[in-house]
Each structure stands twice: as structure tokens, then as C-alpha cells.
Structure 1
Amino acid sequence: MKVLLSIKPQFAEKILTGEKQFEFRKAIFRNNCVTSVVIYASSPLQKVIGEFDISKIYEMEPDALWKETADHSGISKEYFDKYFQGKMKGFAIKVGKMTKYPTPLNLEDLGIRTPPQSFCYVRKH
């Protein structure tokens, strides 16, 4: 099963180049059958640009999460701290094998009407 994640374009591009090997989240999907992530590059691009297999999901308090992922986070410590400010735990999705789509897709191509705030399950694709 796949999920679609809304990711800022600059971070989505870093994932596809391998510079960012973790996607950080404050909340995570509950379905254990999810094996891959479809990348929706949010505004201003607003396109589905690729996908990656989930290698592992880390769940821990933010300081420990940063220590585990910092070398391949693709973001600054300042950005990380601001994102997780006030949170007792955070999640990091480890990027596995990735695929950049030769032609970006629209959400409608996946049967999705509006971009998710966090994530949504992908039924079509």
C-alpha cells in the first residue's frame, strides 16, 4: 500500500537527489501495510513527482531523532527544532529505493481531488 505525502518542493527535490534521506513527520500513518510514499511537491509546483520505498520508520523524542538522522536529514538543526517544537515525539521515514517520474502527475491522475494536509492513502496507481 502507498501513501501520498505533501512535501515542500525544495525538500521533495532533495529526496529525489539523495541529499535528504529522511522525511520528518509529527504524525504518522497507522496502517502497517504501507510500504511506499508517493511524493506530492506542494505549492507552487503542485505535482506528483516521484515515490520511494520506506526503508524504516523511526519514532522517538526529537533530540534522539535528530542524533539518529542529522547526517542525512537534508535540513538544518534550526529548521528541525522549530518543526518539532513542543512535541514529545517525532517520526522520520527513512527513504529507500526511489523513482523520479519522467513526467510529473496531477493529483487527479491518482484519483485524489485535493492535496492532503499530512498524508492520504493512495488507492489508484
Structure 2
Amino acid sequence: MLFLSIHPEHVQSIVKGRKTVELRKRTPSIQPGFKVVIYATTPKCEVVAVATVDNIQVGEPNEIWRDCGRLAAVSEEAFDAYYEGATKAVGIHLSDIAVFKKPVSLRELRRRWEGFQPPQQYRYLDSAQQKFITTRETRLGGCVSS
């Protein structure tokens, strides 16, 4: 299970189904079907959902913009600024968003997972951390695979 740190405005777009592709500069070691934990960064600082990876698309930034720009729910200007100087872009296609009925705060994560620090980009969860996340009560978000 992959723990993704995402800015709160993008998390809201994911939860509402407007954003189905998360953009990254580095390719995580995951395959389609992998589960990802969606963590809203400052000022929210909470885990809000779990999603399923449908596909991982890697290419030059202009190729990823062409294929994923609309699905990433960002402006072309923001996309270009994020990938300025990069030769590789990654689009993580998400589906089956399961939104937690009660988000898990950073304080709660630190209480349960000693020494926990949210990652800048992403990190992998161990089996105990995965069990804690997968036992949370959820509701289906706006992004449902067909």
C-alpha cells in the first residue's frame, strides 16, 4: 500500500471525482490494482481516502499533458511549472475512491505509528499500518471505475 501526500485542493478534486490522475515526478514501484492512501497535507494533515491504481503512465511531460492533463484537473500553467526542466512525468490513474467517514489525523497516525512523518512525495506502508488503514469505515467517493 502506497501512502501519497497530496495538497488539500487536489485531494478535494479526487474525492469529488474531478481528478482521476495524480501527477508525480518519480515512478513508485506499484502495479495496477495497488491500493494508495490519500493524505491531505498542511493545513489539513489527515488521511481522507483510499483508492485503487488503474494504470501508471510514464512519459515526457508533453505526452503526459496530452493524455492526462484534463484528468489531472490542473491548469496547463501549473503543470508546466511543476515539470519545468523535467524529462519524465508520471500519471497515476486512480479509481474506486473510498472516502473515510472520519478522516485520520496526523496526531492519530503518530499515536499509532511511533515516529511517523508524512512523506514529501510517497512512502510504502508496512503490514500493521496497512491493516489499520483498511479497517477504516468508508463511503464511495465521486470517482468510480466503470
Q: Which amino acid aligns with 2:119?
A: P
- After the TM superposition, which residues 43-58 of structure 1 pair with which residues of structure 2 at under 5 Å, given as runs? 43-58=42-57
Q: CA RMSD in A?
A: 1.8
The superposition leaves residues 7-33 of structure 1 with CA deviations (integer Å, 9 ceiling, x where unpaired) of 000001100111011000001222548
Q: Which amino acid aligns with 1:48?
A: V
The superposition leaves residues 98-124 of structure 1 with CA deviations (integer Å, 9 ceiling, x where unpaired) of 110000013336626111011111122
Tell me the distance in 2 between the aligned counterparts of 1:21 and 1:120: 20
Tell me the distance in 2 between the aligned counterparts of 1:29 and 1:72: 19
User: Structure 2: where are the runs of 5+ without partners?
Assistant: 132-146
- After the TM superposition, which residues 11-90 of structure 1 pair with which residues of structure 2 at under 5 Å, given as runs? 11-32=10-31, 35-90=34-89
Q: What's the TM-score, normalizing by structure 1?
A: 0.92
Please identify which structure carries the higher strand content: 1
User: Structure 1: where are the runs of 5+ without partners?
Assistant: none
Paired-residue identity, %: 28
Look at both structures and tell me which one has the larger radius of gyration over its CA atoms. Answer: 2
Q: Structure 2 vs 1, CA of residues 34 and 119 (structure 1 numbering), >3 Å: closer, same or farther?
A: farther
Q: Which amino acid aligns with 2:95?
A: G
Q: Which amino acid aligns with 1:108?
A: R
**C-alpha contact 1:22 1:94 (8 A) present in aligned 2:** yes
**C-alpha contact 2:33 2:54 (8 A) present in aligned 1:** no
Tell me the distance in 2 between the aligned counterparts of 1:10 and 1:98: 16
The superposition leaves residues 66-111 of structure 1 with CA deviations (integer Å, 9 ceiling, x where unpaired) of 0001222211000000000100011000011111000001333662
Runs of 4+ in 1 over 6 A off after TM superposition: none
Tell me the distance in 1 between the aligned counterparts of 2:101 and 2:9: 18
Q: Which position in structure 1 is the counterpart of 2:99?
A: 100
The superposition leaves residues 21-69 of structure 1 with CA deviations (integer Å, 9 ceiling, x where unpaired) of 1000001222548701101100000000001000000000000000001
Tell me the distance in 2 between the aligned counterparts of 1:34 and 1:85: 30
Q: Structure 2 vs 1, CA of residues 32 and 20 (structure 1 numbering), >3 Å: closer, same or farther?
A: closer
Tell me the distance in 2 between the aligned counterparts of 1:50 and 1:31: 18
Tell me the distance in 2 between the aligned counterparts of 1:6 and 1:82: 19
Count, aligned residues: 124
